[in-house]
Amino acid sequence: MDRNTQPYEVKYWLNGELELSERIAWVPTRLIQVEQDSLRLVESSKTTISEPFVSLSHCWGGAEILKLTTKNIHVLKGDIPFLQLPRTFQDAIQVARTLGFRYIWIDSLCIIQDSDQDWHREASTMLKVYKHALFNIAATASTNSFGGLFQERNPHLVQSEALDVDTEAIKGRFHLVDQGYFTQEVDKAPLNLRSWVTQERMLSPRIAHFASEQVIWDCAELTACESLPHGTTTWSGYGARPMTFGCKQGSSLLSPSKTVDEGIGQWGTIVNTYSACRLTVLGDKLIAISGVANHLRDELKMEYCVGLWRPKMEIQLAWVVQSLQADRPPRNDLAPTWSWASLNGAVHLQQVNIYEGYDVISLCSITEVSLYQQIDQNRGEKAVGYLRMRCFLNPITVERDATSYRLRGKGMAEHGRAANIDSPDVAGADQLFFIPLFDVQSPMSLDGPKWHVSSEIRGIIVQGVIGRPGVFTRCGHALVSGAVRTDTGKFEESYDALKSAKEKADLPCEDYDANSGHLIRLI
């Protein structure tokens, strides 16, 4: 790529949006001051900063780079040696210089890397850093800090193909646009497979993606690139693929939510993408998405429960495993088993707003959520605790065939469907139960000459903890389904029994009530 001309494309897009002087609302603890012939670390508490700053997103990639430490902080306040910086940092600083910005925020140079206290304090401000940066420079195509912003490319690739059309139906000049280009160049690029970058990308209002072929500008008002400098709506209309975000233009992610359901739905999309990304340090899993969680918590005034939200929690508990990481065990100890954060792999989190138009009946009640935070010796953050729920326990076993897992137990032969387990060792295990969480009844539909009502119960598979009656761990998700009989106008008794506690008084629980069910603790 041409390092001399590309920054001016960014300036063109940026100037078309806002007055720079309007963006000074907050500054980080530390910034790198960029002069034409020098660099140095400055502290906002000791320096008057009245100009906007930019930020950098990059892949560390495990490479050894110059980092801020307690030992060199005083040296870097005097001078940061440009030639000792990795290529990506050098390129980002050059972009800032070319565009006339005097301040840039780079995580490894603005957070003291060998101070747990400083790291945790600064990591908690990520929401503000990326939200208040004028724009984010993204080293989207680079796999590590030495990959740089500017990639080798064929200059003909940035020449837009145009087609002149003159027919009775349509007339004019049209540009040919690959609908999947944004997904391939941005969503699937090396940078955006990194978990930390999920919130950096979500929180930044404007991003200049230095992709493999050209610079791509992404903000709510405009999606553009060097070959389409005036923008295109093609990519926003195409939409995001599963486990991807897509472009900001036309996206509702992190836009102000009108309802709690919409906010939780936004969170579900974010978690689905985030959980599919990779973390170098597993202990970062909770804090690496805390900025987005804090944003939604402040906006909707909801209680955050380690990856889930207190409103309509029974629906969110029905998350489903999509895939497990091959190089890690299925579970970690960073969160209770009922949270998707306890799983090392990609998940699909139920989005409560997708059930609009259906009758959704809660089949359990969350009576208590107790959580506290722990910081381990490796700087990782853990959430320890439990939830209490009043529910209906159904004894089951899990069997595995060639392609799937099946529930076995009363009512499962008639109504059970394929189960999604959290780890392979669930098959054949003892003390397993199915807990119905909620029932989705579809609107009446015409089935032949008669009206038809169908029902689908979503629930979780749990396992009793040995020696602790009434205490369980989550180990999977399952569906059961039923339909109203045409002769009686009712569901099968075996189906209704799954939603009942009658004749189940001998099952392990903290308290039993024939009407409201079993009180259990899920850890």
Q: What is the percent of the chain with per-residue pLDDT over 90, rounded to a whole number?
A: 61
305 with 157, same domain? no
Average pLDDT rounded to a whole number, residues 375-398: 89
HSE value, Cβ hemisphere, 13 Å, CA-based, for 377: 0
The C-alpha atoms of residue 28 and residue 125 are separated, in whole angstroms, by 8
324 with 212, same domain? no
Residue 251 tokens, joined: 């996206």
pTM of the model: 0.87
192 with 264, same domain? no
Q: What is the pLDDT of residues 6-19, one digit of tens each?
A: 777 888 888 866 55
User: Is-contact 410 497, C-beta < 8 A?
Assistant: yes
Q: Is residue 248 part of a domain?
A: no
Nearest by Cα to 265 from 351, 360, 356 = 351
Statement: residue 192 has pLDDT above 50: yes
The C-alpha atoms of residue 441 and residue 64 are separated, in whole angstroms, by 56
Tell me what pLDDT residue 21 has. 47
Find the range with the poorest average confidence among 72-76, 117-121, 252-256, 328-332.
Answer: 252-256
Which residues lie below 8 Å from residue 173, measured CB to CB, with a gap of 6+?
162, 163, 164, 165
Instruction: Using CA atoms of 321, 322, 326, 330 in order, give the dihedral in degrees to the nearest 10.
Output: 0
Look-up: residue for tokens 């918590």? 297
Statement: residue 38 has pLDDT above 50: yes
Q: Is residue 17 part of a domain?
A: yes
Summary mean pLDDT of the chain: 88
Residue 141 tokens, joined: 């195509």
Q: What is the pLDDT of residues 56-115, one digit of tens each?
A: 999 988 778 999 999 999 999 999 999 999 999 999 999 999 999 999 999 999 999 999
392 with 503, same domain? yes
Nearest by Cα to 205 from 25, 9, 7, 5 = 25
Number of domains making up the chain: 2
The domain boundary, picked from 184, 205, 238, lies at 238
234 with 266, same domain? no
Nearest by Cα to 342 from 409, 402, 275 = 275
Q: Which domain holds residue 441?
A: 260-522
Residue 47 tokens, joined: 């320096």
Q: Is residue 245 part of a domain?
A: no
Q: What is the pLDDT of residues 151-163, one digit of tens each?
A: 887 776 677 677 7
Q: Is residue 44 part of a domain?
A: yes
Task: Give exposure, 363-372, as e/b (b: 16+ Cβ within 10 Å).
Answer: bbebeebebe
329 with 267, same domain? yes
Q: Is residue 251 part of a domain?
A: no
Q: Is residue 368 part of a domain?
A: yes
Residue 53 tokens, joined: 């700053």
184 with 305, same domain? no
234 with 274, same domain? no
Q: Is residue 250 part of a domain?
A: no
377 with 509, same domain? yes
273 with 392, same domain? yes
Q: Is residue 1 part of a domain?
A: no
Mean pLDDT comparison of 148-157, 413-422, 503-512, highest-scoring range: 503-512
234 with 268, same domain? no
The C-alpha atoms of residue 475 and residue 425 are separated, in whole angstroms, by 9
40 with 91, same domain? yes
The domain boundary, picked from 181, 204, 238, lies at 238
